């Protein structure tokens, strides 16, 4: 399908074609050429190129990738590690799996480029435990890459060794947090670490480490092949390039879409995603995974799908896991499901998150069962205030965003359930 | 040495210190659970959040290094609210166990609630998370998972101090529970320390369980009498009974730790009956109770007789390496200076010869007496005798006719102890005239000519010199029963009966005299022997 | 006036007074302040007639009282021990240790009462309870009733409503040993049902039982120093078997 205006196909260029997981097909349409080009460049020049492209982390934080790479010290005798964060667990997000399932070589090429730039010779793909079938596909692709001498002691014949391994998680959302991922990879309980020190200097096995999301790495081949300027030409001033959105909820055409950053939100929902299903009215949109504040239909007016615009509108781009809610949705029930998730996934290391997420989930269960007290609504907001900004990692903040936004913006629904 | 401002006051911190450490050094308490000065930093309890200017979020004081010019506030409204929030979170799933929990009265949750909380709980009892209670973790520790605040101090202790890694968290979220694998008992010689470091009543001492509420206890600073390491301890007692010993922090000797043997060593004092009155063998060879005055007069007269008949070399002074420096000093003065004896020793078993050998890398020594080095420095180790065996031989050979023996059995029992006491019996048996100063009754004492009741460790104040020559002050916790006197008092009386000067009114006086006369202790004052003690030459 | 405190006929609350005036309290408060010369007012209000009859009105109260006393309607003295005064619901008499449903003491040997006691008369020895949810129970619980000053601090301090007080005051004994009450005696004793329950401030907060069935006693309004005949109780013969009740 040719690209529509505003829907440049960089990452999803080939997922609809059959057999794309095989290396021969990947090479047929120009795969691994970017890697060849990268290997001929200077490592520092490659980092500058990525910086110039304006690529930002696509896992949810949106941190400029080139800048993250430049934090890694170059003159150290410790090995550098690149870890691919494929622990996609943010509710509403299913964009990384599509890449790994249908086009695994784009990730391998992207990782190889990144490893070369960072002078990293050992890399891991940390895939969430529930994605075992995805991991199998990815491993098959890796095996093909090794056979084709793209990975191994001499990448594409050059004097650069690279090994990539797949590591399966065991079903913890918290291991998507970069220090927690590193801990899990080291064989410890997935507890996030105190920062500083940062992974760039003390990460995996106390060595410099970069953790990048699948989507971020998958964008690298196109950037190297077509140049940073071409990538920077897409998108807005501060949000360059394209973003994958995994749309679910009450839409007619749910699925994974690739959108130029800056595309209007409502246009995307109503046109590309087919509009609200069954002819109902839009009530609310969670634009970037459950960790971002919900937006009412009114708030979505005029909002563009990029980092800045969504932030200004009171929400965030996040991971791009868009959930569309129509007028039949009970917001307290939705919030209860979301709060249950965070309570279940809290690692339990620090007090506010461990106790606060559990307590909020219990209160919400009571509310939707009709046993809530009127004071419970304010109690939820109080719990949110007590949790925010006081924890080791942002999981507590990720629980605070939905609680606060749901309760404030749809307060009447909560109060109605707490009448008795 | 970075300077920074804490609550408006300028403070100089040591290099590499975190905010909480610098604050502690200057008497500012920042509330905390997971931080411990002798354990690696974890930063998970979030109680020590402070407001550092230019940092957008509150930052934990235990993980933030002090930088020059930092402005820190730990008592403003923002911090107080945050602390109260964390406290409220800790209390929502905490069981209402205060009436049955041993930690009541010394519980960090209670203490911080009274200062920072005083709020009403907003969670109903039915919503609290339930976990397992009263789990047996071995002879020293009882675990209650519900009370745990998940500070991970115990985990870090077993990971980094004993390196046995016995405790770990299980589960995720608010169902995380602390425990050992399959509830296996803790099996290392330092397991009792986790009871001290647990800030709440999750890990409690099995030995102390339910014995006494802590607010009824009086505390005395002392030194453990279990071995020659000389760990600083605090004896908690009430109405003349010791209930427990917990370590005091001495960064130079035991940091914050105490071994299990030492912790339970006070029980030894109550295992056998005490001698309550001086006993003297009459003409019929049977020991009968006498007064102290009678006893000391008789002892002095008899020893002088023996000296006149056989020479001063026939008198043996056999000290105990468990007696205080003050006691040993006056012992030497009486038996040595006053009577002129030259044969002294204190070694009762072969392990004393390894006075400096460590039993493990953490705290313990093989020498189960607290004052061996003290005895050596006072000149009580004879090269010719070579220990009790030599003394027994010399006595059998007739070279030694009389002996003044101080004997305290070690507070930490070993398998060889019976054999050792057997040798003491032999010595007493062989001597023609023997004066035994002891605290506990024993069968072999019937062989002694005179038995004088003296006070053991914790019933007299005094100083002990540990394996590295560090002299430390141990306070008096409980009163002796019966007619028992301190060792130094007994010899003061003997000196007086002997016609020598005996001006001392207290152990302090004796120590002052000791420092004048013993070259190694010159320059030492009693103040210097308080924590952390001072190493003598 | 604290609630429940006896009121005489003249003592009415401010609200009642204001209501009787059929005006909103706010209006009564809006009276303008004025300066009064009390001597002038007294001279203005008094008259010869008033001087004669006012003392008589006061004497009427005295006369009525005298008549009541003579007819026996009101009596300052009662014939104790056949007649006993009724004590209030909050009377602090001899202690009771309450029980759980299965009959074991509710007390968990927390030592709050022993610590709070100003007379230092409670001695407790704790023991391990097999149920981990209860954990602790008193192997011994002794109160020295001669040292006790019946202040009720132990009841105030108890977090479990394990110790309450009854209206029992007749605790004399022939020997000193009998005045040391152990846990059995504190939980149930023959005299208890007659006297009834007294000081138990946490009754509505905790579900505890006593090991006997107290005779039902209605709440009574007391007449203060004066004992009305209907408030005097006659104590009939009592037989109470602790094992059966």
Q: Identify the three-state secondary structure at position C219.
A: coil
- Domain stops at, among C71, C97, C116: C71
Q: Which tokens belong to A206? A: 């106390």
C66 and C133 both lie in a single domain: no
Say whether pTM exceeds 0.90.
no
| Burial category of B309 from C-beta neighbours within 10 Å (exposed 0-12, middle 13-18, buried 19 and up) | exposed
Please give the Cα distance from B316 to C95 (Å, whole number).
65
Please give the Cα distance from A248 to B113 (Å, whole number).
46
Please give the Cα distance from B490 to B479 (Å, whole number).
16
- Tell me if C22 is assigned to some domain: no
- Indicate the domain borders of chain A: 23-233, 242-326, 331-417
Please give the Cα distance from C219 to A380 (Å, whole number).
44
Cβ distance of A357 and B173 shorter than 8 Å: yes
Residue C241 has pLDDT above 50, yes or no: no
The 10s digit of each residue's pLDDT in B430-444 is 999 999 999 999 888
Which subunits count as partners of chain A given 3+ CB pairs below 8 Å? B
- What's the confidence (pLDDT) of residue C226? 47
User: What DSSP assignment string belongs to B303-368?
Assistant: HHHHHHHH-GGGEEEE--TTS-HHHHHHHIIIIIIIT---EEE---SGGGGGTT-BSSSSS-BS--
Residue C125 has pLDDT above 90, yes or no: yes
Q: How many folded domains does chain C comprise?
A: 2
Please give the Cα distance from B128 to B95 (Å, whole number).
8
Beta bridge partners of B403: B316, B434
Is there an interface between C and A (3+ Cβ pairs < 8 A)? Answer: no
What is the pLDDT confidence band of residue A409, given thresholds at 50, 70 and 90? Answer: very high
C88 and C113 both lie in a single domain: yes
What is the pLDDT confidence band of residue C20, given thresholds at 50, 70 and 90? Answer: very low
User: Would you give the distance in Å from CA A332 to the centre of its chain?
Assistant: 26
CATH of the domain at C110: 3.30.70.3270
- Tell me if C194 is assigned to some domain: yes
Return the H-helix or E-strand segment holding B438: strand B433-438
Straight-line distance from the first to the last Cα atom of chain B, in angstroms, rounded to the nearest whole number: 32
Please give the Cα distance from C185 to C173 (Å, whole number).
13
Please give the Cα distance from B289 to B304 (Å, whole number).
22
C57 and C114 both lie in a single domain: no
**Domain at A331-417: CATH code:** 1.20.1440.230
The 10s digit of each residue's pLDDT in A205-232 is 999 999 999 999 999 999 999 999 999 9
- Tell me if C4 is assigned to some domain: no
ipTM of the complex: 0.90
Phi then psi dihedrals of residue A83, to 5 deg: -115, 130
Asked: is B279-535 a CATH 3.40.640.10 domain? The reply is no
Asked: is B3-89 a CATH 3.10.20.740 domain? The reply is yes
Q: Is A379's Cβ below 8 Å from some Cβ in B?
A: yes
Q: Of residues C83 and A183, which shows the higher confidence score? A: A183
**Domain at A23-233: CATH code:** 3.40.50.11540
DSSP structure class, residue A378: H
> For residues B131 and B176, is the Cβ–Cβ distance under 8 A?
no
Number of H helices, E strands in chain C: 8, 9
C141 and C222 both lie in a single domain: yes
Domain that holds residue C89: 84-234
Q: Which residues does chain B have within 8 Å of residue A367's beta carbon, measured at their own beta carbons? A: none
Q: Lowest mean pLDDT: which of A215-229, B419-433, C215-229?
A: C215-229
Which residue pairs from B418-422 have beta carbons closer than 8 angstroms and sit at least 24 positions apart in sequence?
Answer: B419/B349, B420/B348, B420/B349
The 10s digit of each residue's pLDDT in A120-139 is 999 999 999 999 999 999 99
- Fold (CATH) for B127-270: Alpha-Beta Plaits (3.30.70)
Q: Identify the three-state secondary structure at position B142.
A: strand
- Tell me if C1 is assigned to some domain: no
Residue A330 has pLDDT above 70, yes or no: yes
| Residues on C contacting B at a C-beta cutoff of 8 Å | 108-112, 115, 126-128, 132-136, 159-160
The 10s digit of each residue's pLDDT in B69-81 is 999 999 999 999 9
Other beta carbons less than 10 A from residue A396's beta carbon: 25
Residue B237 has pLDDT above 60, yes or no: yes
- Indicate the domain borders of chain B: 3-89, 127-270, 279-535
> For residues B507 and B486, is the Cβ–Cβ distance under 8 A?
yes
| Residues on B contacting C at a C-beta cutoff of 8 Å | 97-100, 104, 132-134, 209-210, 213, 215-216
Please give the Cα distance from B431 to B401 (Å, whole number).
6
- What's the confidence (pLDDT) of residue C242? 45
| Burial category of A200 from C-beta neighbours within 10 Å (exposed 0-12, middle 13-18, buried 19 and up) | middle
User: What DSSP assignment string belongs to B455-478?
Assistant: --TTSS-EEEE-TTSEEEEE---S
> For residues A220 and A90, is the Cβ–Cβ distance under 8 A?
no
Q: Is B85's Cβ below 8 Å from some Cβ in A?
A: yes
Q: What is the mean pLDDT of residues C137-156?
A: 95
Residue B248 has pLDDT above 70, yes or no: yes
Please give the Cα distance from A241 to B414 (Å, whole number).
76
**Domain at A242-326: CATH code:** 3.10.20.600
- What's the confidence (pLDDT) of residue C6? 43
The 10s digit of each residue's pLDDT in B37-65 is 999 999 999 999 999 998 999 999 999 99
Nearest residue, CB atoms, B99 vs list C108, C132, C133: C108
- What's the confidence (pLDDT) of residue C41? 87
Cβ distance of B85 and A386 shorter than 8 Å: yes
Residue A363 has pLDDT above 90, yes or no: yes
C54 and C123 both lie in a single domain: no
- B330 φψ region: left (φ > 0), alpha (ψ -120 to 50), beta (else): alpha
Nearest to residue B300, comparing CAs of B145, B492, B497, B165?
A: B497
């Amino acid at each position: 399908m040719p690209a529509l205006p505003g829907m440049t196909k960089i990452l999803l260029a080939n997922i609809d074609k059959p057999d794309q997981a095989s290396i021969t097909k990947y090479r047929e349409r120009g795969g691994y050429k970017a890697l060849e080009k990268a290997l001929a460049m200077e490592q520092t020049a490659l980092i500058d190129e990525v910086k110039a492209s304006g690529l930002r982390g696509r896992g949810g934080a949106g941190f400029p990738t080139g800048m993250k790479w430049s934090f890694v010290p170059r003159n150290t005798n410790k090995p550098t590690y690149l870890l691919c964060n494929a622990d996609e667990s943010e509710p509403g997000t299913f964009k990384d799996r599509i890449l790994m399932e249908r086009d695994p070589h784009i990730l391998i090429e992207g990782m190889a480029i990144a490893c070369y730039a960072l002078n990293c010779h050992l890399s891991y793909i940390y895939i969430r435990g529930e994605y075992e079938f995805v991991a199998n596909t990815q491993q098959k692709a890796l095996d093909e890459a090794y056979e084709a001498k793209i990975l191994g002691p001499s990448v594409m014949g050059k004097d650069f060794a690279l090994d990539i391994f797949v590591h399966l998680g065991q079903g913890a959302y918290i291991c998507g947090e970069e220090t927690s991922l590193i801990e899990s990879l080291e064989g410890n309980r997935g507890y996030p670490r105190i920062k500083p020190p940062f992974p760039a200097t003390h990460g995996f096995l106390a060595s410099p480490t970069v953790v990048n999301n699948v989507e971020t790495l998958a964008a690298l081949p196109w950037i190297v092949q077509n140049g940073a300027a071409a990538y920077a030409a897409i998108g807005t001033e501060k949000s360059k390039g394209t973003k994958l959105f995994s749309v679910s909820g009450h839409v007619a055409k749910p699925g994974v879409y690739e959108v130029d950053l800056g595309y209007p939100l409502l246009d995307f929902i109503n046109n590309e995603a087919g509009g609200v299903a069954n002819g109902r009215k839009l009530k609310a949109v969670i634009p970037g995974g459950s960790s971002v504040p919900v937006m009412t239909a009114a708030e979505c007016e005029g909002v563009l799908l990029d980092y800045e615009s969504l932030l200004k509108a009171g929400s965030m781009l996040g991971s791009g896991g868009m959930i569309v809610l129509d007028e039949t949705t009970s917001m307290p029930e939705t919030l209860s499901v979301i709060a249950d998730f965070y309570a279940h996934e809290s690692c339990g290391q620090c007090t506010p998150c461990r106790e606060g997420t559990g307590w909020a989930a219990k209160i919400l269960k009571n509310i939707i069962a009709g046993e809530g007290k009127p004071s419970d609504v304010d109690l939820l907001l109080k719990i949110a205030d007590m949790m925010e900004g006081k924890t080791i990692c942002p999981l507590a903040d990720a629980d605070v965003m939905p609680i606060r936004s749901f309760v404030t913006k749809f307060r009447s629904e909560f109060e109605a359930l707490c009448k008795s | 040495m970075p300077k920074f401002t804490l609550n408006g006051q300028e403070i100089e911190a040591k290099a590499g210190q975190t905010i909480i450490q610098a604050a502690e050094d200057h008497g500012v308490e920042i509330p905390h659970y997971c931080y411990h000065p002798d354990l690696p930093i974890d930063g998970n309890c979030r109680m020590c959040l402070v407001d550092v200017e230019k940092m957008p979020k509150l930052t934990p004081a235990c993980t933030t290094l002090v930088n020059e010019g930092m402005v820190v506030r730990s008592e403003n409204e923002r911090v107080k609210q945050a602390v109260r929030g964390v406290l409220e979170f800790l209390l929502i799933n905490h069981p209402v166990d205060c009436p049955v929990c041993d930690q009541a009265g010394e519980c960090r949750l209670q203490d911080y609630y009274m200062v920072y909380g005083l709020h009403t709980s907003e969670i109903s009892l039915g919503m609290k998370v339930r976990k397992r209670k009263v789990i047996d973790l071995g002879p020293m520790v009882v675990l209650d998972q519900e009370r745990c605040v998940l500070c991970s101090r115990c985990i870090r202790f077993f990971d980094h101090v004993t390196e046995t890694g016995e405790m770990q968290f299980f589960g995720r979220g608010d169902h995380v529970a602390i425990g050992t694998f399959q509830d296996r008992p803790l099996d290392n010689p330092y397991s009792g320390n986790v009871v001290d470091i647990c800030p709440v009543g999750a890990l409690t001492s099995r030995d102390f369980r339910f014995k006494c509420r802590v607010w009824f206890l009086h505390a005395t600073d002392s030194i453990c009498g279990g071995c020659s390491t000389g760990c600083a301890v605090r004896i908690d007692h009430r109405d003349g009974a010791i209930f427990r010993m917990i370590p005091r922090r001495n960064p130079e000797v035991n940091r914050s730790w105490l071994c299990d043997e030492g912790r339970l060593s006070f029980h030894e004092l109550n295992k056998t009956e005490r001698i309550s009155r001086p006993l003297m063998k009459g003409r019929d060879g049977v020991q009968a109770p006498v007064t102290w005055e009678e006893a000391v007069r008789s002892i002095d007269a008899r020893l002088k007789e023996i000296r006149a008949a056989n020479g001063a070399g026939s008198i043996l002074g056999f000290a105990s390496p468990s007696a205080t420096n003050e006691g040993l000093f006056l012992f030497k003065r009486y038996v040595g200076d006053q009577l002129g004896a030259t044969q002294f020793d204190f070694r009762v078993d072969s392990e004393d010869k390894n006075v400096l050998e460590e039993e493990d890398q953490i705290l313990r020594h093989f020498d189960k007496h607290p004052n061996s080095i003290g005895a050596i420095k006072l000149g009580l180790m004879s090269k010719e005798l070579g220990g009790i065996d030599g003394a027994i031989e010399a006595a059998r050979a007739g070279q030694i006719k009389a002996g003044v023996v101080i004997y305290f059995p070690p507070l930490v029992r070993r398998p060889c102890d019976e054999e050792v006491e057997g040798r003491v019996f032999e010595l007493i048996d062989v001597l023609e005239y023997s004066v035994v100063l002891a605290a506990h009754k024993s069968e072999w004492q019937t062989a002694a000519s005179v038995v004088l009741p003296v006070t053991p460790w914790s019933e007299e104040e005094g100083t002990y010199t540990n394996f590295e020559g560090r002299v430390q002050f141990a306070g008096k916790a409980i009163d002796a029963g019966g007619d028992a006197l301190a060792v130094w008092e007994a010899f003061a009386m003997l000196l007086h009966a002997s016609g020598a000067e005996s001006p001392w009114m207290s152990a302090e006086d004796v120590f002052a005299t000791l420092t004048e006369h013993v070259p190694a202790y010159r320059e030492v004052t009693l103040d210097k022997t308080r924590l952390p003690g001072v190493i003598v030459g | 006036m604290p609630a429940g405190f006896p009121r005489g006929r003249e003592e009415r609350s401010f609200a009642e007074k204001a209501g009787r005036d059929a005006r909103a309290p706010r209006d009564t408060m809006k009276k303008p302040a004025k300066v009064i010369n009390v001597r002038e007012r007294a001279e203005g209000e008094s008259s010869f007639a008033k001087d004669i009859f006012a003392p008589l009105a006061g004497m009427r109260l005295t006369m009525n009282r005298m008549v009541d006393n003579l007819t026996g309607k009101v009596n300052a003295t009662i014939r104790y021990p056949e007649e006993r005064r009724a004590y209030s619901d909050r009377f602090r008499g001899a202690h009771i240790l309450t029980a759980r449903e299965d009959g074991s003491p509710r007390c968990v040997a927390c030592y709050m009462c022993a610590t709070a006691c100003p007379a230092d008369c409670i001695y407790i020895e704790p023991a391990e309870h097999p149920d981990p949810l209860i954990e602790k129970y008193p192997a011994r619980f002794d109160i020295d009733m001669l040292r006790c000053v019946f202040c009720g601090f132990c009841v105030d301090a108890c977090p479990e409503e394990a110790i309450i007080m009854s209206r029992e005051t007749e605790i004399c004994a022939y020997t000193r040993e009998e005045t040391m009450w152990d846990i059995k005696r504190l939980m149930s004793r023959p005299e208890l049902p007659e006297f009834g329950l007294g000081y138990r401030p946490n009754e509505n907060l905790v579900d505890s039982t006593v090991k006997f069935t107290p005779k039902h006693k209605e709440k009574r309004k007391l007449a203060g120093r004066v004992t009305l005949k209907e408030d005097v109780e006659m104590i009939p013969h009592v037989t109470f078997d602790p094992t059966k009740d």
